């Protein structure tokens, strides 16, 4: 039973890590797209003031989107970890009650 609990917690931790890795990958992808768009704007025949303003806007928008996605997924990973802790506590209480004879399996 302890091995089941440990493997369950490990699975939850792995899932949380995967979610964070996905969030980082999405954030990186958003930033790369923003940089690509900024390069395209720079390559266009536009007055430099407009180009700089547009690049700044694109970069800020991409950063904002990436940060929002990362924050959302970090919250989700945190919730998964918190849920795992609660499950471990409930299982530990159950094990103690079974061992002490307060409850039967």
Is residue 103 a part of any domain in this protein? no
Count: domains in the chain = 1
Is residue 63 a part of any domain in this protein? yes
- Rounded Cα distance, 104 and 46, in Å: 78
Is residue 88 a part of any domain in this protein? yes
Is residue 104 a part of any domain in this protein? no
Beta carbons of 19 and 80 less than 8 angstroms apart: yes
Over residues 29-57, the pLDDT tens digits come to 988 998 898 888 778 776 778 778 888 99
Of 3 and 83, the structure prediction assigns the larger pLDDT to: 83
Name the pLDDT band for 95 (thresholds 50, 70, 90). confident
In 3D space, the residue among 68, 66, 56, 57 whose CA is nearest the CA of residue 31 turns out to be: 66
Is residue 102 a part of any domain in this protein? no
- Provide the domain limits for residue 63: 2-96
């Amino acid at each position: 039973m302890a091995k089941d609990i440990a493997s369950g917690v490990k699975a939850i931790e792995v899932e949380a890590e995967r979610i964070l890795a996905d969030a980082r990958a999405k954030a990186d992808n958003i930033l790369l797209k923003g940089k690509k768009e900024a390069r395209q704007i720079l390559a266009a025949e536009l007055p430099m003031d407009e180009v700089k303003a547009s690049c700044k806007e694109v970069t800020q928008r991409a950063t904002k989107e990436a940060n929002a996605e990362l924050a959302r997924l970090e919250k989700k990973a945190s919730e998964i970890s918190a849920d795992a802790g609660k499950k471990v506590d409930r299982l530990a209480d159950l094990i103690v009650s079974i061992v002490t004879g307060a409850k039967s399996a």
